[in-house]
Amino acid sequence: MAKAPVRKQDNRTFVGLLVLVGVIGVAALGYVLTRPGEKPLTVDPSIPAGTAEGYLLGKPDAPVQVMEFGDFECPGCGNFANVTEPDVRARLVNTGIVAFRFFDFPLSVHRNSWTAHIAASCAADQGKFWEMHDRIYAGQNEWGLSGNGEVTTNPIKVFRNYATEIGLDVKKWEDCLAAKPHEARIKANAAEGTRRGITGTPTFIIGNKMLPSDHVIGYDEFKRYVDEALAAAGPDSGKKAAKVAPAQDGGAKKGQ
């Protein structure tokens, strides 16, 4: 006889819990949907991809060919650029052992990444790709990801400061940003990465080895792969390997 009131009480608890979960869920989704919007550059999807051309650092016919598929907003790429890459340049690129090519691989999940890649490609027009590359990575915390999203909705403002710092003709650089003549190249570089089965950044291809992007690679590990590639390459492999990716310096300088 007492079963009906108990069931009624149960139903009330059940419906109450459903309402509670519903309200919390809707509020949480509402929050993530209404966070301040971001203003990245828009990409015209009708522009066809061009030919993949990495930005070269070092001698194009160096015995070990290294390709990095990187995203300017990816923290792991930033870590590599800031911590490991200076050693790589000083000890492997400047010594003529490695030809290092950076290929754009902007991940769609990063709102400001395309803008950063376009900013760097426009710096390449003035022979300063690597200066912009380094500045963008060094300043990731000023324009990139932080906890729950990008720290700024206006990355161009930050990149304009970098353009001034590295001595670009800012007016020319801004004209390039507006015209975006390098979109096809960036797309092509990303498509090249996809064609090679790359899913994350930074991904390095050293000789014939593609390294997983699951951890930040340190200099010793990087050097180990270079040594393996050097041993496997043979004396005149540099010229052969250089054909893998055409040598487009994009404002390259020979190490730093």
Binding site for other proteins (CB under 8 A): 10-11, 13-14, 17-18, 21-22, 24-26, 28-29, 32-33, 35, 38, 107-111, 145, 147-150, 199-200, 212-214
193 vs 251, beta carbon nearer other proteins:
193
- Bridge partners of 119, per DSSP, are none
Shortest distance, CB of residue 134 to other proteins, whole angstroms? 24
151 vs 184, beta carbon nearer other proteins:
151
108 vs 256, beta carbon nearer other proteins:
108
Please provide the size of the chain in residues.
256
Shortest distance, CB of residue 226 to other proteins, whole angstroms? 22
Shortest distance, CB of residue 150 to other proteins, whole angstroms? 7
Pairing relationship of beta strands 203-206 and 149-150 according to DSSP bridges? unpaired
57 vs 186, beta carbon nearer other proteins:
186
17 vs 83, beta carbon nearer other proteins:
17
Shortest distance, CB of residue 223 to other proteins, whole angstroms? 22
- ∠ at Cα 38 (34, 39), nearest 5°? 145
HSE at residue 237, side-chain half, CA atoms within 13 A, is 15
Distance CA 27, CA 46 (A): 37
- Go through 155-185 and write b for each residue having 16 or more CB atoms within 10 A of its CB, e for each that does not: bbebbbebbeebebeeeebbebbeebebbeb
Shortest distance, CB of residue 212 to other proteins, whole angstroms? 6
Nearest to 207 by CA among 99, 52, 93: 99
Q: What is the DSSP letter of 58?
A: S
